[in-house]
Structure 1
Amino acid sequence: MTNLIRKLWVPVMTLMAITGMGQMPIFKRYYVADIPGLAWLGEPFTVHWVHYAGAAVLMFMVAVITIRWFADREPLTTSGTLRITLLALLICTGYIRVVKNLPDIHFSPTFTMLIDWTHLLFAMLLGVAALWSARTGRRSYTKQTESLRRI
């Protein structure tokens, strides 16, 4: 299961980034949706639901990773702690955005804008942190214990 999650992590996060940007109507405005095969990016309703579906897959993957981490109890690296914190903040603001879209829930325009901007900010910071970690060789989320190093 873990190998499957490792293989799916980058494609799912890429889908989330693309559909997240698609929530802002930039793909139609800048004619990206006119490229053959990308017309769905110009349909706000479709992009919205694909983003929700990607979020469901991401939540499943995060749940599996969290359960495995609690079972193994390996200490986190500094880079891993930073990326997990940013992902948790991104998920929390995403949940608030989902609640905002429910029909009987109404937030003030200022609070809505604050949630939208913080969700975007955490997404950008997570992307920067992930690229920085990959570039500097700090890809691991956990430290290996001494007993595992000897094996």
Structure 2
Amino acid sequence: MNSRTLVFRLTVFALAFTGFAQMPIFARYYLADVPGFGWTADYYFNHVAHYILAIVLLAILGWRLPRVLRRPAWTAMDVIVGLCWAGIVLTGIVRVMKNQPESYFSPTLVMWVDWLHLGFVMLLGAASLMRSRVRVRTVKSH
């Protein structure tokens, strides 16, 4: 694994971690009580960290996008993973917009965007896992 892939994977892991940390699950399930993990219960710290990591992710995705689009062949899983990334980015942008003081979104819209954002993340995880399992099987069969 090269250093770019490692940075990408660490960024995605940190985004998932800080995203879930914005929900009160780490305090509820006592992870925040483990020495050194008290920050996991700090909503504002995780919120800012998530924004900073999202900037890093957008830079990585922007750098990778031209290469990915030039690929000669796409599998169905590649398309699903790409659509998940697009959904995550678009719902993330809407979430940032709704957090601006001069904007107003209805509670129903906010709920849908939050659920879609989380749903795309979960679907991306499942699709990426499935795609990696198919690749491993393909490599082993040849």
Shared fold per TM-score greater than 0.5: yes
Length, aligned pairs only: 137
With CA pairs under 8 Å and 6+ residues apart, which has the higher RCO, 1 or 2?
1
Deviation at 1:67, TM superposition (A): 2.7
Q: Which residue is equivalent to 1:58?
A: 57
Q: Which residue is equivalent to 1:109?
A: 107
Given residue 34 of structure 2, which amino acid in structure 1 is its aligned partner? I
Q: Which residue is equivalent to 2:4?
A: 5
- The unaligned stretches of length 5 or more in structure 1 are 139-151
For 1:134 and 1:75, how far apart are their aligned partners in 2? 17
Question: Which of 83, 97, 100 is the equivalent residue of 2:98?
Answer: 100
User: Could you report, residue by residue, the CA deviation over 1:4-38 in whole angstroms, capped at 9, with x for unpaired residues?
Assistant: 32121221111111111111111111111111221
For 2:66 and 2:43, how far apart are their aligned partners in 1? 34
Root mean square deviation of aligned Cα: 1.9
User: Could you report, residue by residue, the CA deviation over 1:113-146 in whole angstroms, capped at 9, with x for unpaired residues?
Assistant: 01111111111000111111112227xxxxxxxx
Given residue 114 of structure 1, which amino acid in structure 2 is its aligned partner? W
How does the TM-score come out when normalised to structure 1?
0.83
For 1:18 and 1:134, how far apart are their aligned partners in 2? 21
- The unaligned stretches of length 5 or more in structure 2 are 137-142
User: Following superposition, which runs of at least 4 residues in structure 1 exceed 3 angstroms of deviation?
Assistant: none
